Amino acid sequence: MEDDKVAAVPTAAPSEAARYTLVCDYGSLWTKGTLVGDVDGTSRLLATCAAPTPTDDAGRKDLRAATLQIAEKLRSLTGIPSALPADAIGGEQLEVSLIPVGSATPAMRIVLIAPDGGSARRAASLLEDASYIESIRAGTVSELLEDAGLAVGPRPDAVILIEARSGIPQAEVRSLAQLLARTGVDTRLVPMIHCRPGDFESPAGGLLRRLEPEVVLADLTGKGSYGSTAARRALNLLYSERALTTSAGVLGLPLSRRARFVSAAGAEVITAKFAAGARSDKVAVLDVGGSNTTACYVDGEELRYSVASGCGVGAGAAALYGRVGEAKLQQWLPFAPRPDELRAWALNRAVQPLTLPRTLREVFIEQAFVREALCVGLEGIALTTPPDLVIGCGALARGMRPQVSAVLLVDALNVCCPSWQQVGLAVDTSNLVPALGAVAAVDPELAARVWELDAPRGVATAVAARGARAEGPAASAVMRWEGGEEETAVAGGQLKALQPPYGVTAQVELKAMPGVRLAGAGKRELVSLELSPSVAYPLPQVLLDTRPVLRPGGSRRTDLVATYLISSGAFGKRDLESL
Amino acid sequence: MTHLPYQIGCVTVTERRFAARGEFRVRTGDRVEPDTVVGIEPAPAEPIIFDVAGTLRRPPSEAAQGLAVKIGERVTRGAVIARFAGSRGAPRECRSPENGVLASYDGSSGLATLLPGGGQSDLKAGVSGVVKDVVDGRSVTIETPGAFVSGVWGVGGDVHGVLRVAGQGRAEPVAAESLDGRFTYSILVVGGSVSVEMLARCAELEVRAIIAGGIAPSALGEYLGGAMPLPETLRRLQFSPKKAGGNTPPALMLLEGFDAGGMAEEAWQVLTACNGRECSLFAPGWPVRPRLIVQLPRHEVPDPLPLREAQVAPGSTVRIIGGSDAGTTAKVVQYPAHRVALPSRVPVDSALVRVAGGVEKMVPVLNLRVIANP
């Protein structure tokens, strides 16, 4: 939609031996193409583009048509690929090898069998939040046998049997056999995953040995459960394998020989882990998509991620509204919405998800939804330690100016991780986070090389100043650059953007007023930052947040929101007056 | 591929598929009606597990050696599944409890699984027309010359009946009390948007479906008994039996969206032209768009055209989506036009369109729904 971009073009025409990697991220609304290849001996991002994911009248995504659209767009931008054979498989002799990513293929329906109801519910809650899972029907053997929907409905896509200290009782083995027959596991139509501890011998061992399920060493039954990551990974792999065989047309395209259908969330986790490792920082990646919102956080060896499946700002808008409610959304608006206005927006966006906001009012409503989607994602990973770097993807990177994306990220952090003090904000306008994660699954060195030079660009460094009264003095900022200086007094209740003139390196010194705590600095201690433009960070700015750490509320809510939106530079005074 | 949403004089192709595999009762060239059973499919029945080893009174591994039927083989009721010829007395036999397929034998437990040949389910045509093609065991396609209308959201499943247009204009709401028994079992077209009273009255009259421009979320929510139609109700209408009086709720098809007013004039003209005709409405639920197929006699549609694809081009008639002029019909003047900035200051591909009164404006292409080609 926005910015189909050419990042770099080889100086020589591609030779027969030249290889390019095309990552197609098939989203529910948009397919994003990322072309990576050699530029004068260096692996670089070459170009990126996006096109609406085509659907047929039955609502099925046509991945083949999406890929050909992307290839055509890239060809018009770069001349690469000169041809995309539609009937070849494998990439060795071809100009381009394709790596598929995304969640455009149907999510899976799972049946989960457990020794008791509590274990079933616990295990289901551990596994269900994933973009590749549509639903989990969980219960004991007898509960599931009595489930009328299971008896007459379509077969599930996978069955999970969890056992641990207590396994399926011996007396229920026959019923288990019946259940597995009903679901299609017995005849190998449906795959099965058996989660059990390593030294556990199931009473249904004989039956299970015959069925040869995939075994995952895990205990998902008790409070001290472990192995949920391994179980999710097994499900993810199952989805990937199934997606390749069920997606319309993908098999007819030049898939990389080592490619498998990586979910976008999985790819983002890979990239987040790499980014955190490369910088030795705590990194959070927040992706607000049309249908799902993904959040992941990496701090050394600690990884948390959550996928709010079905919650987004496109087809997932109605679900998001239902989840967060009218009141939370209204809090972000610099105007009072009409009755039904937000509901109607959510429903219309869900049924016509590609439409764009045409008025400023619609823009603010959309941004309120994005903020709440971010909150849903952050709540899912339950941040206790603020990140050093936050990378915004999806809706934050397309259809929104970077300054606005920065404001939304800071707003969400204030709600969900209010202890943050100083954080870098970046926006993935080239869709590299999921793309390189998928490339890394096939060629980690290539992914690392491209990331090193073309990582998502920084938007701002946000600095928190807490304790100021609304409109009272909060901090002073002095910005110095060669040939100039600027001093700014910042009042409370603002989100102040401080930006040097274009193309200059500047030193920024922030000093807190009495009673104000600035980014964890001590009394009378200055916070110094350097703003230096670069390819990755072309228009650096500081966002100084002097607002109280609360959701906007109270009778003056709309004024407060308008004030900080103007001070952030994201919108002008005339914009707000026109509402 | 997106088709023009309102077409008349066209031929619509409907595919009907078995869930797995079945047997068709029609051939190419056969005429069908919506209730015509075009095929039958074995209905999945509860697998039957029976104890082979226990019946033979042998260990499971020995019982396996006595199997008389291969796994996957079809058996009839009473057929011998396994036999053990003991050294004393008559041989013991285990017989199939039902007709079906021997799906498996578990050598550790001695249990066998039979998939019975159960009942059958009928696959109906759902639409009037002529069978164009039959893919053995899989699907049948039916051609229907007539009219085609596509909506933005619909729910309620597949229904068929006579199309009845109520009211005088596309934007004029219809009073619920003006509906009477003439509309029973019909597929009702109304101007304006649907009210709570209209929904209740249609349920009372057993109207099969309602087609309108839009419905207020609060109206739909109130009718469903909740404050807000949540995502699951986007897929299917959850009716409070009290409100619906126990009758099957009407399916619903919106042509414009939620909180929208009347439908486009082009849609109204197609629907009024089909007033009194037999039609079929398919509204499987979001995210699949609903569609209405009307059969017209051959003499009225001598040379039906295939459904036309929508094109954004100078001269196309479009409906504007979103913004203060949402629901306005316009004519494309220039496309592609240069990119314009949204209020968010993000540049997007746009088209120059002219609305009533001659006013021209730039509208993002994604906010245009083509309803007529140049």
Q: State the DSSP string of B10-28.
A: EEEEEEEE-SS--EE---T
pLDDT at A534 > cutoff 80: no
* Among A181, A340, A575, beta carbon nearest to B103: A181
Instruction: Report chain B residues whose CB lies below 8 A from the CB of A404.
Output: 344
Confidence band for A16, pLDDT divided at 50, 70 and 90:
very low
Alpha helices in chain B (DSSP H): 52-56, 60-65, 196-204, 217-224, 231-235, 241-244, 265-273
Q: Are A213 and A194 in contact (CB under 8 A)?
A: yes
Which among B238, B342, B355, B365 is the top mutation candidate for probing chain A, defined by the most A β-carbons within 10 Å of its own β-carbon? B342
pLDDT at B96 > cutoff 60: yes
Q: Are A353 and B288 in contact (CB under 8 A)?
A: no
DSSP-derived secondary structure letter, B170: T
Average pLDDT over residues B342-369: 91
Contact A350 B234 (CB under 8 A): yes
Contact A401 B230 (CB under 8 A): no
Which tokens hold the place of B143?
């051609």
Alpha helices in B31-147 (DSSP H): 52-56, 60-65
Contact A177 B258 (CB under 8 A): no
* Among A154, A348, A359, beta carbon nearest to B257: A348
Q: Are B148 and B7 in contact (CB under 8 A)?
A: yes
Q: Read off the amino acid at residue A402.
A: P
Confidence band for B230, pLDDT divided at 50, 70 and 90:
low
pLDDT at B275 > cutoff 90: yes
pLDDT of the residue at A13: 32
Confidence band for A91, pLDDT divided at 50, 70 and 90:
very low
Average pLDDT over residues A130-135: 75
* Among A206, A344, A356, beta carbon nearest to B342: A356
pLDDT of the residue at A92: 42
Chain A residue nearest residue B325, CA to CA: A358
Which tokens hold the place of B53?
């080893």
pLDDT of the residue at A355: 92
pLDDT of the residue at A554: 66
The better pLDDT of the pair A230, B118 is held by A230
* Burial group, residue A159, by CB count within 10 angstroms (0-12, 13-18, 19+): buried
Of A519-533, B175-189, B282-296, which range is least confident? A519-533
pLDDT at B235 > cutoff 70: no
Confidence band for A118, pLDDT divided at 50, 70 and 90:
confident
Confidence band for A550, pLDDT divided at 50, 70 and 90:
low
Q: Rounded to an integer, what distance in angstroms lies between the CA atom of residue A48 and that of residue A8? A: 10
Query: Treating both helix axes as pointing N-terminal to C-terminal, what angle do A341-351 and B217-224 enclose, rounded to 10 degrees?
Result: 90
Alpha helices in B124-169 (DSSP H): none
CB proximity list for A448: less than 8 A, separation 6 or greater: A274, A278, A440
Q: Are B291 and A57 in contact (CB under 8 A)?
A: yes
Confidence band for A298, pLDDT divided at 50, 70 and 90:
very high
pLDDT at B19 > cutoff 80: no
The better pLDDT of the pair B170, A551 is held by B170
CA distance A419 to chain B (A): 30
Nearest Cα residue to A192 out of A175, A207, A173: A207
* Among A186, A318, A401, beta carbon nearest to B104: A186
Of A90-94, B99-103, B165-169, which range is least confident? A90-94
CA distance B48 to chain A (A): 8
Contact A340 B324 (CB under 8 A): no
Confidence band for B313, pLDDT divided at 50, 70 and 90:
very high
Average pLDDT over residues B189-212: 92
CA distance B20 to chain A (A): 10
The better pLDDT of the pair A556, A35 is held by A35
Contact B234 A182 (CB under 8 A): no
pLDDT of the residue at A3: 52
Q: Are B351 and B361 in contact (CB under 8 A)?
A: no
Confidence band for A284, pLDDT divided at 50, 70 and 90:
very high
Average pLDDT over residues B183-191: 95
Alpha helices in B149-260 (DSSP H): 196-204, 217-224, 231-235, 241-244
Contact B103 A357 (CB under 8 A): no
* Among A355, A359, A399, beta carbon nearest to B324: A359
Nearest Cα residue to B102 out of B67, B71, B65, B56: B71
CA distance A58 to chain B (A): 5
CB proximity list for B216: less than 8 A, separation 6 or greater: A340, A344, B193, B258, B259
| Full 3-state SS string of B239-294 | CCHHHHCCCCCCEEEEEEEECCCCCCHHHHHHHHHCCCCEEEEEECCCCCCCEEEE
What pLDDT, in 10s, does the model give residues A310-362?
889 998 898 899 889 899 999 999 999 998 899 899 999 998 999 999 999 99
CA distance A52 to chain B (A): 10
Q: What is the largest CA-CA distance in chain A?
A: 85
Average pLDDT over residues A368-378: 96
Contact A357 B363 (CB under 8 A): no
| Contact with chain B for residue A310, Cβ under 8 A | yes
DSSP-derived secondary structure letter, A557: H
The reply to whether ipTM tops 0.85 is no
Average pLDDT over residues B274-278: 96
| Contact with chain B for residue A400, Cβ under 8 A | yes
Q: Tally C-beta pairs within 8 A across A and B.
A: 151
Contact B346 A318 (CB under 8 A): no
| Full 3-state SS string of A130-184 | CCCEEEEEEECHHHHHCCHHHHHCCCCCEEEEECCCCCCCHHHHHHHHHHHHHHC
Instruction: Report chain B residues whose CB lies below 8 A from the CB of A56.
Output: 1
Instruction: Report chain A residues whose CB lies below 8 A from the CB of B103.
Output: 181, 186-187
Phi–psi pair at A318, nearest 5 degrees: -65, -40
Average pLDDT over residues A142-171: 80
pLDDT of the residue at A41: 83
CA distance A565 to chain B (A): 13
| Contact with chain B for residue A182, Cβ under 8 A | yes
pLDDT of the residue at A135: 82
CA distance A173 to chain B (A): 9
| Contact with chain B for residue A483, Cβ under 8 A | no
Percent of chain A whose predicted confidence (pLDDT) is above 70: 85
Of A151-155, A229-233, B49-53, B340-344, which range is least confident? A151-155
pLDDT of the residue at B29: 95
Which among A4, A57, A363 is the top mutation candidate for probing chain B, defined by the most B β-carbons within 10 Å of its own β-carbon? A57
What pLDDT, in 10s, does the model give residues A214-259?
888 888 887 667 888 788 888 877 887 776 656 656 656 666 666 6
pLDDT of the residue at B28: 95
CA distance A511 to chain B (A): 33
Instruction: Report chain B residues whose CB lies below 8 A from the CB of A173.
Output: 109
Contact B216 A344 (CB under 8 A): yes
Alpha-carbon torsion angle B37, B41, B45, B48, nearest 10: 140
pLDDT of the residue at A89: 39
Which strands make up the sheet holding B23-24, listed edge to edge?
Answer: B23-24, B37-42, B120-124
* Among A356, A362, A401, beta carbon nearest to B345: A401
| Contact with chain B for residue A534, Cβ under 8 A | no
Q: Facing residues of A298 across strands?
A: A283, A303
Tell me if residue A351 falls in helix, strand or coil.
helix
Chain B residue nearest residue A206, CA to CA: B108
| Contact with chain B for residue A188, Cβ under 8 A | no
pLDDT of the residue at A84: 61
The verdict on whether omega for the bond into residue A81 sits within 30 degrees of 0, i.e. cis, is yes
Phi–psi pair at A351, nearest 5 degrees: -90, -20
* Among A207, A343, A355, beta carbon nearest to B322: A355
The per-residue pLDDT of chain B, averaged, comes to: 87
Pairing of β A108-113 and β A158-162: parallel
pLDDT of the residue at B263: 94
What pLDDT, in 10s, does the model give residues A416-425?
999 999 999 9
* Among B150, B259, B322, beta carbon nearest to A356: B322
